[in-house]
Amino acid sequence: MTVSNDASDLKATTGAQGATGAKLSALFAGTMGPLIGLVLLCLALTLTTDTFLTVRNILNVLDQITVLGIMAIGMTLVILIGGIDLSVGSVLALASMVMGFVAHPDYLNLGLPAGIAAALFVAGLCGLVSGLLVTLTKLPPFIATLAMMSVARGLANMITDGSQIVGFSDWFTNLSIIRHFGFLSVTVGLMIVLAIIFAIFLNYRATGRSLYAIGGSAEVARLSGIPVKSLTNWVYAICGVLAGLAGIVLAARLDSVQPSSGLGYELDTIAAVVIGGASLSGGVGSIGGTTVGVLIIGVLRNGLNLLGVSPFIQQVVIGVVIALAVATDTWRRRAQ
Amino acid sequence: MSPDPRQSESPHNGLFVNGLCKSYGPVQVLADASFEVRPGEVVALLGENGAGKSTVSNIIAGATKSDAGSIIWRGKPYSPANPAAAIEAGVGMIHQELKLLPDLSVAENVYVGRLPMRGGRIDRATMNAKASAQLKRLGLDVSPERMVRTLRIAAQQQVEIAKALTLNAELLIFDEPTAALGGEETELLFQQIRKLKAEGMSFIYISHRLDEIAQIADRVVVMRDGRIVARHERADVSVRTVVEQMVGRSVERMFPTLSPPGTDTLLEVENLSSPERSFNDVSFSVKSGEILGIAGLIGAGRTELVRAIAGADPISSGSVRVGGQPVHLSGPAAAIKAGVVLVPEDRKAQGVVLDQTIGENLAFGNFDHVAPKGWVFPKAVQKFAEAGISRLGVKGRPNQAVSKLSGGNQQKVIIAKWVSRPPKVFILDEPTRGIDVGARAAIYDVIADLARSGMAVVVVSSDLEEVLGLSHRVLVLSRGRQRGILERSEASNVAVMELATS
């Protein structure tokens, strides 16, 4: 089937579902390809395993994707403006170590709220510094965030000289364990709320729309009176904060923090955003698409586990999926 | 008109193009194209965008294959499989976008792919000496060891020509060679073409600048919709005749009649200078309803001046007042807020986001109108876009990608973006660059309408006819200095060029 970016065509194909269908299709506009892929993947796993399509397993998948999902939101913004952030994995580790150091009884013992605030502050600062390196010193984002990736990882290790911090209050770990209303943990809820907030921001706020202008052409945006530099700084800072938040969620899930956590997460995050239809050259992408990208990676990992496929083969499969997803997208665009 | 070359009784040793056809799917872009180029002759190939000039050149240069038809070159059938085969046969093409390697030296660019070797190593001494000789032949005094990136566009083009000469080209195809050149540089290029012509080289010359044709071409071939519609044996045909043949209808007039300007002074520029000295101590004012043209050679500082007034580049000293109020030019946003808008020089890189819709492009820069509380609703964007589209007569729908529009319609989108604010000062830099001759009149009408609605309009253009035809007054810049402001009655080709070259 051919899928057009043209909103009216999309409406025509989903017209039977009425107004809600049309709105949904607008939310996922341009991400029909990945969405179809996700549906096919779920169908295949439902047919080949007994356990995939169970409430318990679906909730598991949601739990497993929270860290990736939260980071991918920030990465979507960065990639939308034509940037890239390689530091999110390291910033995640640094933020979680800061939280542990500030909160844990063995160290500063200032309590978890202070620890969380400090973690988010440091993470935001890391992002802001990356942003300033891009806007003020004109470093390419790849280099600026590569530098930040190394710095943040080093700082994370320096805090405890490389050792982990274990054991937090029950209420904190319960955030990712207790399922309110029978299904929704606080961490999963947080991810969903953030996704909705940022989807609304990107679709319906002038500032959000401006990010598409910056990614499409920074010079056009600047000449249109859009404050390109300050928005770029903000985007990197927000990406940092979200990476920090992901670090806190990971700490709650593991009941520990370690400086080596989040290794390679930046690549998973970029992969999720790109599978979701975003263009690395900027200007194209959406939270809807990224959500689909995160779900594809999450479902794929979960499904391969259920099928008993070794983690090594899983890496190969995910690599193939990235190449396939982006290649089909490129072919489709060229065909139009 | 010349006889059809297929019936030509006096074959020469040049190029015969016979009945070339080319289709992409159902679209025929070239239909039965036939013409000839004699040795030592410049044939101008004219036509609007999409007329088939590029297709026919690409076939001759080996970049595209024809579906039907044949070419005879130097007495033999000729059908190059690729550009390398064409070069081998002595046919070269100088593209509008130069194809050089910016971080290699001039000599390396000239000999890339066939670097002279000695003992398994590149023989730099020979390479530099040979490249130097070719550059001298073109009258170009640059070191063969210089990085191409550091050369001006005009000099880079000469490197391409030098490369073609070392490849022993006997037919050179020029695709809009002067699009990025100033007057002096154009004259230098013409001198070189005349010199090479005298040595027996042939040229196919594609250009949108019709005033050049009489200067450089021996014969003219006009194309429209993939067909050759006219062949002129001499190049001194009137521009109007050629334009009418290109657009396929009679052209009533190019330029609109101007209404007299109002009395309020809307833009006052005083002693403005740039930090890089690209313009110095410029002062002028523009009244409401008035169109001020800015003329000058490339590098005179025209674009830099208007960009600074629009807040796009910093200034070092001087002041700008809009409607009597001083404007602090901290950036484009401040200028837009004060009522100064710019339609920039490079439409595709600075004017529109190509991959996004007309609606989005119109909304960028107008969020204060479209989204007064910061909320952007698709319906509001749609409504705003429809208003802009109908006001400017853009041929397109709000949800259509801007990349699918013609150059003229893209330009209208950029004008539409600003027109509803409404601005006090409307600056247009090269408003018709790369736009079909037939579509230019519509842009001129739009510009005259902007003035008529009470704005102060500033138009920068390299096309002298355009500046003269469109302006109440003409400010002439030369090497960053203001050489004078001419009233419409005293502004002529000669008067402007005298000031521009002073």
Kindly state whether residue A24 falls inside one of the protein's structural domains. no
Report the largest interatomic distance among the alpha carbons of chain A, rounded to a whole angstrom.
62
User: Mean pLDDT throughout B420-446?
Assistant: 90
Cα distances (Å, whole numbers) of residue B410 to A30, A221, A245, A265, B434: 23, 16, 43, 42, 11
Do B333 and B435 sit in the same domain of this protein? Answer: yes
Reported as a single tens digit per residue, the pLDDT across B354-382 is 989 999 999 998 999 899 899 999 999 99
**Cβ-Cβ contacts under 8 Å for B368 (sequence gap 6 or more):** none
Kindly state whether residue B263 falls inside one of the protein's structural domains. yes
Please identify among residues 266-325 of chain B the ones whose CB lies closer than 8 Å to any CB of chain A. 310, 312
Strand, coil or helix: A256 = strand
Peptide bond into B261 cis (omega under 30): no
DSSP secondary structure of A175-231: HHH--BTTTB-HHHHHHHHHHHHHHHHHHHBHHHHHHHHHHH-HHHHHHTT--HHHH
Question: Of the candidates B333, B336, B375, which has its C-beta nearest A205's C-beta?
Answer: B375
Kindly state whether residue B273 falls inside one of the protein's structural domains. yes
Structurally, chain B folds into a number of domains equal to 2
| R_g (Cα) of chain A, nearest Å | 20
**Is the model's pLDDT at B52 over the cut of 80?**
yes
Tell whether B356 lies on the interface with A, counting CB pairs under 8 A: yes
Chain A residues touching residue B353 (CB < 8 angstroms): 212-213, 216-217, 220-221, 283
Tokens coding B238: 């009137």
Strand, coil or helix: B375 = strand
| Among A204-208, B22-26, B157-161, B240-244, the range of highest mean pLDDT | A204-208
Do B445 and B480 sit in the same domain of this protein? Answer: yes
Residue type, B154: A
Task: Give the distance, in angstroms, between the CA of residue A291 and the centroid of all CA atoms in the same chain.
Answer: 8
Dist CA A322 CA A272 (whole Å): 8
Kindly state whether residue A8 falls inside one of the protein's structural domains. no
Dist CA B310 CA B428 (whole Å): 10
Q: How many CB pairs under 8 A join A and B?
A: 85
Ranking B23-32, B401-410, B444-453, B486-495 by mean pLDDT, the lowest is B23-32
Q: Are A198 and A77 in contact (CB under 8 A)?
A: yes
Tell whether A115 lies on the interface with B, counting CB pairs under 8 A: no
Please list the residues that pair with B15 across neighbouring strands.
Answer: B37, B73
Chain B residues touching residue A203 (CB < 8 angstroms): 376
User: What distance in Å separates residue A311's CA from the closest CA in chain B?
Assistant: 39
**Is the model's pLDDT at B438 over the cut of 80?**
no
Ranking A170-179, B30-39, B95-104 by mean pLDDT, the lowest is B95-104
**Cβ-Cβ contacts under 8 Å for B119 (sequence gap 6 or more):** none
Give kind and range of the element (H or E) at residue A280.
none
Which pLDDT score, from 0 to 100, does residue B487 have?
Answer: 95
Mean pLDDT of the residues in chain B: 89
User: Mean pLDDT throughout B305-326?
Assistant: 95
Pairing of strands B481-487, B265-273: unpaired
Kindly state whether residue B275 falls inside one of the protein's structural domains. yes
Tell whether B222 lies on the interface with A, counting CB pairs under 8 A: no
Kindly state whether residue A108 falls inside one of the protein's structural domains. yes
Q: Which of B353, B354, B397, B402 to mutate to test the interface with A (most CBs of A within 10 A)?
A: B353
User: Is the CB of B364 less than 8 angstroms away from the CB of A284?
Assistant: no
Q: Are B340 and B425 in contact (CB under 8 A)?
A: yes
Q: Which single residue is written with the structure tokens 């990971």?
A: A250
Q: Are A274 and A293 in contact (CB under 8 A)?
A: yes
Question: Of the candidates B355, B376, B377, which has its C-beta nearest A283's C-beta?
Answer: B355
Please list the residues that pair with B73 across neighbouring strands.
Answer: B15, B76
B135 class by beta-carbon count within 10 Å (0-12 exposed, 13-18 middle, 19+ buried): buried
Q: Are B231 and B221 in contact (CB under 8 A)?
A: yes
Cα distances (Å, whole numbers) of residue A78 to A27, A72, A282: 19, 10, 9
The enclosing domain of B259 has a CATH number of: 3.40.50.300
Kindly state whether residue A110 falls inside one of the protein's structural domains. yes
Tokens coding B305: 């001046």
Q: Which residue of A has its CA nearest to B372?
A: A206
Dist CA A18 CA B444 (whole Å): 46
Do B330 and B428 sit in the same domain of this protein? Answer: yes
Tell whether B388 lies on the interface with A, counting CB pairs under 8 A: no
Which pLDDT score, from 0 to 100, does residue A24 have?
Answer: 54
Tell whether A227 lies on the interface with B, counting CB pairs under 8 A: yes
Kindly state whether residue B379 falls inside one of the protein's structural domains. yes
User: Is the CB of B333 less than 8 angstroms away from the CB of A221?
Assistant: no
Do B416 and B444 sit in the same domain of this protein? Answer: no
Q: Which residue of A has its CA nearest to B371?
A: A206
User: Mean pLDDT throughout B120-136?
Assistant: 90
Q: Which residue of B has its CA nearest to A210?
A: B364
Q: Are A202 and A208 in contact (CB under 8 A)?
A: yes
Do B407 and B460 sit in the same domain of this protein? Answer: no
Do B413 and B429 sit in the same domain of this protein? Answer: no
Task: Give the distance, in angstroms, between the CA of residue A325 and the centroid of all CA atoms in the same chain.
Answer: 17
Chain A residues touching residue B417 (CB < 8 angstroms): 224
User: Is the CB of A212 less than 8 angstroms away from the CB of B352?
Assistant: no
Which pLDDT score, from 0 to 100, does residue B211 have?
Answer: 78
Chain A residues touching residue B364 (CB < 8 angstroms): 209-210, 213, 220-221, 224, 226
List the one residue out of A199, A191, A168, A160 whose CA is nearest residue A285. A199
Domain boundary among B391, B420, B449: B420
Chain B residues touching residue A278 (CB < 8 angstroms): none
Kindly state whether residue A22 falls inside one of the protein's structural domains. no
Residue type, B267: L
Tell whether A334 lies on the interface with B, counting CB pairs under 8 A: no
User: Is the CB of A225 less than 8 angstroms away from the CB of B336?
Assistant: yes
Do B428 and B492 sit in the same domain of this protein? Answer: yes
Q: What is the rounded (10 degree) CA torsion for A108, A112, A113, A115?
A: 50
Kindly state whether residue A16 falls inside one of the protein's structural domains. no
Give kind and range of the element (H or E) at residue B313.
none
Dist CA B18 CA B37 (whole Å): 12
Dist CA B123 CA B5 (whole Å): 46
The enclosing domain of A104 has a CATH number of: 1.10.3470
Q: Which residue of A has its CA nearest to B336?
A: A225
Tell whether B133 lies on the interface with A, counting CB pairs under 8 A: no
Chain B residues touching residue A6 (CB < 8 angstroms): 399
Residue type, A48: T
Domain boundary among B420, B445, B476: B420
Chain A residues touching residue B363 (CB < 8 angstroms): 209
Pairing of strands A165-166, A256-257: antiparallel
User: Is the CB of A222 less than 8 angstroms away from the CB of B344?
Assistant: no
Dist CA B62 CA B92 (whole Å): 9
Cα distances (Å, whole numbers) of residue B460 to B41, B274, B296, B425: 34, 17, 9, 14
User: What distance in Å separates residue B136's CA from the closest CA in chain A?
Assistant: 39
List the one residue out of A213, A6, A214 whose CA is nearest residue B360. A213
Dist CA A141 CA A235 (whole Å): 12
Dist CA A234 CA A201 (whole Å): 14
User: Is the CB of B336 less than 8 angstroms away from the CB of A8?
Assistant: no
Q: Phi, psi at residue B300, to the nearest 5°?
A: -80, -15
Which pLDDT score, from 0 to 100, does residue B502 have?
Answer: 75
Q: Please measure the distance between the N-terminal and C-terminal CA atoms of chain B and give it in whole angstroms.
A: 41
List the one residue out of B444, B490, B450 whose CA is nearest residue B469. B444
User: Is the CB of B367 less than 8 angstroms away from the CB of A213?
Assistant: no
Please identify among residues 23-42 of chain A the ones whose CB lies closer than 8 Å to any CB of chain B. 26
Question: Of the candidates B337, B344, B401, which has its C-beta nearest A223's C-beta?
Answer: B344
| B314: containing domain | 252-339+423-502
Do B378 and B270 sit in the same domain of this protein? Answer: no
Dist CA A172 CA A116 (whole Å): 11
DSSP secondary structure of B243-265: HHHHHTS----SSPPPPPP-S-E
Chain B residues touching residue A226 (CB < 8 angstroms): 333, 364-365
Its ipTM equals: 0.82
User: Is the CB of B353 less than 8 angstroms away from the CB of A213?
Assistant: yes
Do B282 and B391 sit in the same domain of this protein? Answer: no
Neighbours of B204 (CB within 10 A): 27
Structurally, chain A folds into a number of domains equal to 1
Tokens coding A48: 């080949």
Chain B residues touching residue A210 (CB < 8 angstroms): 364, 367
CA angle A76, A80, A86 (to 5 degrees): 60
Please list the residues that pair with B375 across neighbouring strands.
Answer: A205
Residue type, B54: S
Kindly state whether residue A1 falls inside one of the protein's structural domains. no
User: Is the CB of A225 less than 8 angstroms away from the CB of B337?
Assistant: yes
Q: Which residue of B has its CA nearest to A211?
A: B364
Tokens coding B476: 């002439």
* Reduced 3-state DSSP string for A155-174: HHHHHHCCCCEECCCHHHHH
Kindly state whether residue B323 falls inside one of the protein's structural domains. yes
User: Is the CB of A212 less than 8 angstroms away from the CB of B353?
Assistant: yes
Q: Are B450 and B462 in contact (CB under 8 A)?
A: no
Please identify among residues 182-211 of chain A the ones whose CB lies closer than 8 Å to any CB of chain B. 203-210
Tokens coding B194: 């005349």
Dist CA A120 CA A246 (whole Å): 10
Q: Are B76 and B91 in contact (CB under 8 A)?
A: no
Question: Of the candidates A212, A222, A227, which has its C-beta nearest B360's C-beta?
Answer: A212
Dist CA B353 CA A213 (whole Å): 7
| A207: containing domain | 34-323
Do B365 and B331 sit in the same domain of this protein? Answer: no
Q: Are B35 and B17 in contact (CB under 8 A)?
A: yes
List the one residue out of B178, B179, B211, B431 whose CA is nearest residue B303. B431
User: Is the CB of B374 less than 8 angstroms away from the CB of A206?
Assistant: yes
Kindly state whether residue A184 falls inside one of the protein's structural domains. yes
Do B429 and B287 sit in the same domain of this protein? Answer: yes
**Is the model's pLDDT at B308 over the cut of 60?**
yes
Residue ranges, chain A, pLDDT below 70: 1-30, 336
Domain boundary among B370, B398, B420: B420
**Cβ-Cβ contacts under 8 Å for B396 (sequence gap 6 or more):** B358, B389, B404, B405, B409, B413
Beta strand ranges found along B337-382 (DSSP E): 340-343
Do B313 and B289 sit in the same domain of this protein? Answer: yes
Residue type, B41: E
**Cβ-Cβ contacts under 8 Å for A180 (sequence gap 6 or more):** A186, A189
